């Protein structure tokens, strides 16, 4: 258990280092803010004014005509059988929990480092809250587990919440790290499309812009 926690910590630190290297700032920030349920990996360079305009323009263009984006999928050669269970190491309290590898909770446990890398690459500040997956930190056991997010609106900076529940929604998160203007999308494995082309702009708008700014830019 310790080993896995360390591996995840190392992977997260790696993401933070990569992201800070991009922004030219070499200081590595602590992974978890004290007294906070937020992992500090969102140190990647966020959009400046010119980039903001470019992102909004690209989203508007795709909304009008999704065929401007090339969607392709790669064959998957991953034939390795995963172990039946995997360990979730809580980044907040250090507790661990075992989940079936193929379950939603198991995927979140295994993908946590790559989710953090994706968020660090996003042009908008987005923070993930994994507490639903820790038996100790989970607040509402009556609700099904979900991965919760806070986005800071690209345009006005206002915070808003959204969540991902289910494996497909976690896979879709990589769409948030696409380069703007978006010209192509890797749909992942054949047969498990991440997103329908006509839904791409809305997917990103709903996670990059607050409801008011979506309306303002015709991206509702």
Which stretches of the chain bind Zn ion, using CB under 5 A?
90, 92-93, 95, 134, 136-137, 153, 155-156, 158, 210, 213
C-beta closer to Zn ion: residue 95 or 103: 95
C-beta closer to Zn ion: residue 71 or 92: 92
Min CB(130)–Zn ion separation in Å: 8
C-beta closer to Zn ion: residue 129 or 171: 129
User: How far apart are alpha carbons 146 and 104 in whole angstroms?
Assistant: 9
C-beta closer to Zn ion: residue 89 or 173: 89
Min CB(210)–Zn ion separation in Å: 3
- Extract long-range pairs of 16-20: CB within 8 Å, 24+ residues apart: 16/40, 16/41, 16/43, 16/120, 18/117, 18/120, 19/43, 19/44, 19/45, 19/120, 19/121
Min CB(91)–Zn ion separation in Å: 8
Min CB(86)–Zn ion separation in Å: 16
User: How far apart are alpha carbons 206 and 46 in whole angstroms?
Assistant: 17
Question: CB neighbours (10 Å) of residue 142?
Answer: 4
User: How far apart are alpha carbons 205 and 59 in whole angstroms?
Assistant: 7
């Amino acid at each position: 258990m310790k080993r896995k926690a360390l591996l995840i910590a190392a992977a997260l630190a790696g993401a933070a280092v990569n992201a800070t290297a991009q922004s030219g700032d070499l200081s590595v920030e602590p992974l978890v803010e004290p007294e906070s349920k937020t992992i500090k990996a969102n140190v990647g360079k966020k959009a400046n004014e010119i980039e903001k305009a470019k992102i909004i323009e690209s989203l508007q263009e795709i909304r009008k005509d999704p065929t401007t984006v090339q969607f392709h999928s790669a064959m998957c050669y991953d034939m390795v059988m995963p172990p039946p269970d995997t360990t979730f190491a809580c980044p907040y309290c250090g507790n661990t929990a075992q989940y079936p590898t193929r379950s939603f909770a198991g995927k979140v446990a295994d993908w946590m480092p790559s989710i953090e890398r994706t968020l660090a690459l996003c042009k908008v500040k987005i923070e993930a809250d994994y507490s639903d997956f820790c038996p100790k930190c989970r607040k509402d056991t009556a609700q099904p587990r979900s991965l919760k997010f806070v986005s800071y609106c690209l345009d006005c900076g206002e915070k808003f919440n959204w969540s991902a529940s289910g494996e497909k929604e976690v896979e879709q998160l990589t769409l948030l790290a696409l380069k703007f203007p978006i010209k192509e999308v890797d749909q992942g494995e054949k047969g498990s499309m991440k997103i329908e082309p006509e839904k791409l702009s809305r997917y990103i708008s709903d996670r990059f812009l607050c409801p008011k700014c979506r309306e303002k830019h015709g991206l509702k």
